[in-house]
Structure formats: structure tokens, C-alpha cells
Structure 1
């Protein structure tokens, strides 16, 4: 176990600074360290030279500052040894990258992540009054983590992302993308979804998943595709039939958005309708109250493209809320996954050990969550560079006193 007395961080609460102000409440260093107090130490106690707490804190700091694996974490620690000695006990100096790698390969990912959950809950706080709390769940493959010679496919991670708060709530590793259906219910058991709207793409559009969300006191917006063939066809048929006469015979809500960016002009048209009584299979979906369609027309140069997506939801009629949830789900791709690939270069990772890859992936998601809480105008990439250039800025990101 990590003991709080193993650390020499100040026990004062640190409210942040002009450089790194938090959106949420003050972060108390003592509370942060206590979050890891129950983490089991997987190492033998024989000839143990480094404190588990030192290794964990160094790993968190190094990943925020730009490290992407044990070697880089070890190099960062050695480069900042004097600064770290003022903040950690380090009885045998900074640990080597081999020591760091061995620890990250033996820490159970579930236990490791559960220690972060308490930190995340305090960091994220509660949504503001009237603010929609959207939790987007989606999967992502670490494309270069495969080992063809060993018959090992790429690691696939299912993540939960609190869109409005910019917080990674949890992740679950699976051997294959097809296991996403079984991973999502397990992930829902690990996170708080009460009063949240959970959005999932078509792979997670399953009756048991919808029921689990409702049982957790949340709402759902689920993308609908051919994997739910009968329901999918029935929703398309119903919406298309009424669209042909401009919805004259049914209740409908419509919302239009025009978005410009990255050399492209998008027009998005949202339609939301109550679930019709005669909809095939309606009774099998817990609390299904509305259906919807989003039509996106994009212009890039002289090229036009279009895309149509259908949804089922437990939300009541309120098309702007429906639109916010659909946009929010796209946010997990644009905010989390894009940042992981471009800023944290996750897709380039060649780590084959599944436990190490899982723990490193979580450290990166946690780092993004912390960096997004910094209240300045810089990008996540620039904040990460600043954390690597300036240890005091890094300390402020974590809520650690700089003096």
C-alpha cells in the first residue's frame, strides 16, 4: 500500500494561480495523495529501493510533461531530479526507466484506475445549473500495438468522456472491437451516470445497455444502424414517410445549425419526433421516448457530401437538447481521440504488453483531463509543452504548491 507519510508534499490546499486556474474547487494535495492510499504494491518487499507513491507521481507528472512510455518517464525524472527531490522522498534517487516499466506492467489496471476515480470526482465537480451533462462512450484501437508474429491484434479501449466537463471518467480494455458490446455495460458499472445523458454509437445500441443506463438514473441517445435491423428499418420508414408531407400528420421538432471550420461548411438539420405507438419493437427498449434523424450536408471546395444518421433516445421532446447530445458525442472523436493521436501520439505506440499499454493509456487520458482544466487560451498541445518546459507550471496543473 502507498502510505501518506511516504510523501513530503505540502499538505496545504492550493487554489491555483494566474497561470493555471482551475474551473473547479480548490485541490488539496493531501486529498490527492490519499486517493492512492489503497493501491496495492505488486512488488516484492525484498530489496525494494523505491516507494510506489514516488513512481506513481513521477509517472503522472512525466506523461503530462510529454513522456509517452517508461523510457521517456525515466529520462524526464532524471532530468528533473533536483526539482523532484524537493517534493518526493526518493530514498534511492529517481527510479530508472526499467523500474518504472516493471511497476506499470504489474499494477492491475482496474485498481490503478479506481484510485484516479476519486481524484476525478473531486476535479470534475458537478455541472453548472442548467448545464447538460453528456457522457460519450466510444471505442478506440491502438493501431500499432499489434504483434502479427505473436498473433496479437491491436489493443481496443472503450472510454467514457464527460463532454461538458472535459474529464475522462474511465476506460476498459478489450482484446477486439467486437467485445465493445460486453465492455460497455462493465464500464457503465464503474462510472457515475445519474442525471447524465449517455451517448453511444451504433455498436453500443443494445437493449441491455439502454436498460442499464436508465437503471443508473441516466438518459440515453443511441445511434441506430443495421445491427438493429428491424428497428432501424422501422425508424427510417416512419421518418421518411412523414418527411414526404413535411410532417403534417405528426409532432416534430426541427433545428438547423451552420458550422464553418477547417475549410469546410456544414449544415446540420435535426428532426426529433415522439416514438409512435405502432413502432415495431418499441416495448423492448426501456424508456424509449423519442426518435431522431440528423442530416449533415458538407461543402469543401467544390465538393459536396451528405450523411444521414438515425437515433433512439429516452429524452423527451427538446430538439436543441437532442442536437447538443449528438454534437457532444462527436466531441469524443474531435476532443479526446484526436488529442490522443495528435498530441499524445497514442496510435504510434508499439507497446505490446497489455497491462502496460492499458495503464499508459489511462495516464494519457487522465493527463488530458487535467490539462483541460487549465483556464487559459492555449491549446492542449501547448499546455503540455509548457508543462514540459516549466516544472512550476506542471505543479500548478496538478494543484501542487510551487514553493
Structure 2
């Protein structure tokens, strides 16, 4: 089996310590995780679907991601996901995405803050799992995400998420919920820029912005006129 190139997803997955006992290492952990990620990217959402998709591939593909024999069944994938802390796999994928995005040219890369509720995650107390994510809008790659406890709003979660990410060279976009002074200050203090919507949750700011356009000319046009005069 070829050694994966440094910086590749396979190399990053290979660096994850294998928590399994010797009897449970029939297949490499990196190959199992690579298959799970590839399966998810194709739209497979369950272990049975991931296993079926993998078995439908050619042996050359199995070998390319690290399998040395016929891939395992869905139960093996389920055991891996149950035994591996979610943040371990998430951090590995985040490291790969971050490294990939750093190599993509562009002076100012837009990234979006957005919350989402995961389907099929209804908890015993009647609430589903809600995540706040920051993703690269050009590629769709998730840079960082955090699970939001039921008592925490997206404003507080956004502050924690922004502190964990390097924002230099990035334009952070978001809806009106993120139009808050401390959020905008955190972005600029980290070297980033922001573009957020302004709605009725900030009435004074909204009125100030609207008043600048009531004359029919933008502030930029008025500035140019004053300079010309």
C-alpha cells in the first residue's frame, strides 16, 4: 500500500490513534474513516448505505484508500463510529479542509455563519440537535462547527466559534441574528471582515442606514459630489 502524501486527507486520518484492541484491527482505522467520509459525500447517511456503496466500488478503489482485503460490513462501521469520539474525526476533517482552503488563491474568502437543526436527531426531552457552523461558501467546506445546548442561543455560540478560528483574509457573512457589536468586534479583532444583514432587531441602526438612501443617492455618490465641488 502506498504511503499517503503529506497533507492529504488519508495522511491526516492515518495520524488518528487507533483506539481498538488488536482483535478489532482487521481493517485500518484510516481506511474505515476514509470510506465513511467518501460514503457521506455521495449521500449515504447510514452505515448500511455506506457499506453498500463501498462494496459497489472496484477493488482498485478499496486499495487506494487503505483496505488490503474485502471491506467490512455495516456493523463494523457502526462500531467504529460508536467508539471514536465525534470531535476526533471532526478535528481531522477540519484540519484537512483548512489546509486545502489555505492553498486556494483569493485575497478575501467569504465564510458564512449559519445554524441548522439535524434531521433524525430528536432527543428524549423533545429537542433535536442544533449546530452552528462556519463554512467556506466557495467550496462548501465546514471550517468549524459547534453543538448548541438547548439553553444557549446562536449569539453566544457564535462568539465561541469565532474565537476558535483564524479569520485573517476572510469575510464573515451572517443573517440579522449576528448583527451584534461584540460579534463584529471579535471578527475585526481577529483580522477578518464582516457583512451581516440589518433588520428590525436593530431598529436604530436600520433607521440610520435607510436614512442615508432616502435622498435617492448613495453615500458614495454624495462623497464624490462633495469632492468634485
Superposition TM-score, scaled by structure 1 size: 0.48
2:71 paired with 1:94: yes
Match for residue 237 of structure 1?
207
Q: Which has the higher contact order (CA 8 A, sep 6+)?
A: 1
Of the three residues 252, 276, 290, the one matched with 2:219 is: 252
Of the three residues 132, 137, 158, the one matched with 1:158 is: 132
Of the three residues 139, 143, 147, the one matched with 2:115 is: 139
Of the three residues 11, 14, 23, the one matched with 1:34 is: 11
Alignment map for 1:38-57 (pairs within 5 Å): 38-43=15-20, 45-48=21-24, 49-57=26-34
Aligned to 1:34, the other structure's residue is in SS state: helix
Give deviations 1:4-37, integer Å, cap 9, x for gaps: xxxx2365xxxxxxxxxxxxxxxx4774332224
CA 1:37/1:92 → structure 2, altered by over 3 Å: closer, same or farther?
A: closer
Of the three residues 147, 151, 170, the one matched with 1:196 is: 170
Mapped partners of 1:29, 1:126: distance in 2:
14
2:76 paired with 1:109: no
Alignment map for 1:3-402 (pairs within 5 Å): 8-9=1-2, 11=4, 28=5, 31-43=8-20, 45-48=21-24, 49-80=26-57, 82-87=59-64, 90=67, 93-126=70-103, 128=105, 131-147=107-123, 150-176=124-150, 178-227=152-201, 232-246=202-216, 252-253=219-220
CA 1:133/1:119 → structure 2, altered by over 3 Å: closer, same or farther?
A: same
Match for residue 227 of structure 2?
none
Match for residue 387 of structure 1?
none
Shift of 1:173: 2.1
Aligned to 1:171, the other structure's residue is in SS state: strand
Superposition TM-score, scaled by structure 2 size: 0.79
CA contact (8 A) 1:145 1:155 kept: yes
CA 1:30/1:9 → structure 2, altered by over 3 Å: closer, same or farther?
A: farther
Mapped partners of 2:46, 2:137: distance in 1:
27
Unaligned runs of 5+ in 2: 224-229
Shift of 1:54: 1.6
The alignment yields a C-alpha RMSD, in angstroms, of 3.1
Aligned to 2:90, the other structure's residue is in SS state: helix
CA contact (8 A) 1:127 1:165 kept: no
Shift of 1:197: 1.4
Unaligned runs of 5+ in 1: 1-7, 12-27, 255-272, 274-403
CA contact (8 A) 1:41 1:107 kept: no
Shift of 1:46: 4.8
Give deviations 1:187-245, integer Å, cap 9, x for gaps: 22333310211112122233332222122111122223444xxxx22223334444444
Mapped partners of 1:139, 1:84: distance in 2:
35
Count of paired positions? 222
